Amino acid sequence: MVTDEDLKKEAEAFDKQTEERIKQGFIPDLRRLKKVEWFYNNMWRDPEFVKIHLMPKVNYVINIAKQKGGKVLELGCGYGYLTLELARNGLDVTGIDLSSKSIEVAKRFAEENPFKENFGSLNYECNNILEMEFGENKFDTIVFFGTLHHLPDIDKILLKVNKALKDGGNLIVCEPIRENLKKEEIQIASILKAILPTYIPYEEKLGKLDNTEEWNKYVDEVYKEYTYQDDHEQSPCDNITSSKDLIVNSIKNQFEVKNIEFSDAFLDKIIGGLRGENKYLIAKFLKFLDDEMIKKNMMQPGGIRIHAVKQINESNIRD
């Protein structure tokens, strides 16, 4: 159960994160990104890493939403890089987030937007999506982009989403799913993190990994990183819902699922830490390898993309 105190701490965590990132020069605008070396193990360090890792997810959302057109709601929009891009594609977009600092930043960069051609509309609201209502038959598309895994009782949330969507409207979900990750699979991610050129010098990494005790400690730490444990936890409500089966079944109970795709066996926790003159070439290969290992069931996916639609109410058609 999520308490009011949990939600307060959740908002404070994201307020602090947003404020810190903006202070370091981060620009939450996918068309105006720049290198921010303050990020040491995060894709936001380099626009090319964002292009390789994040843009397939962003384009997945945009392509589906554009095909439907109309009004789009993103629940948990953060500092607004996805909502801004959706509006640039001619859509009428609303973004809602619990973090007041995130909404403040999102509004600022929306106002600074230099790409006016074909711009739809963009509005933001700071609110608690667990308690608020989203309206009825109001939106053509509703998006969760890295938000649903922070929410308890997603059946209740999805019921409100279903109500707020028009008949035939889209539900798009892009979320991390780490619940079923096994330590045996983390051995592969650990090997890659150890042998690839990253922000940690080889002398520091490999110099102490040539014995069983230290290797096991290293694998345990990588496992905690991939499952958001201990110091790797982002916020108090992080990964409350991280089960693939729970997310998929909850959506199937209320929507018609059109498409499911998987990603991020290991890439998301490695790409931002790559260093060296061949880092982009390595990153592109790792993206291919990540997809291949998921397809061949060699590793569990750490991310899921779902497109579902609200079924048409035939009684409404007869009326």
CATH number at residue 260: 3.40.50.150
Closest CA to 149 of 285, 319, 309, 304: 304
Predicted pLDDT at 277: 96
In the chain, the number of structural domains is 1
Exposure pattern of 208-244 as b/e (b: 16+ CB <10 Å)?
Answer: ebeeeeebeebbebbbebbbbeeeeeebbbbbbbbeb
Where the chain has pLDDT below 70, the residues are 1, 230-234, 237, 239-240, 314-319
Neighbours of 153 (CB within 10 A): 14
Predicted pLDDT at 4: 77
Residue 10 maps to a domain = yes
Predicted pLDDT at 77: 97
Q: Which domain holds residue 56?
A: 4-178+238-265+303-312
Predicted pLDDT at 317: 40
Neighbours of 112 (CB within 10 A): 11
Q: Report yes or no: 259 and 291 within 8 Å, Cβ to Cβ.
A: no
Rg (Cα) of the chain, in Å, rounded? Answer: 20
Read off the pLDDT of residues 294-315 as tens digits, 9 standing for 90 and up.
Answer: 999 999 999 999 999 999 875 5
Task: Using alpha carbons only, give the angle 110, 115, 119 rounded to the nearest 5 degrees.
Answer: 75
Residue 293 maps to a domain = no
Residue 166 maps to a domain = yes
Predicted pLDDT at 275: 97
Residue 289 maps to a domain = no
Residue 279 maps to a domain = no
Residue 244 maps to a domain = yes
Residue 61 maps to a domain = yes
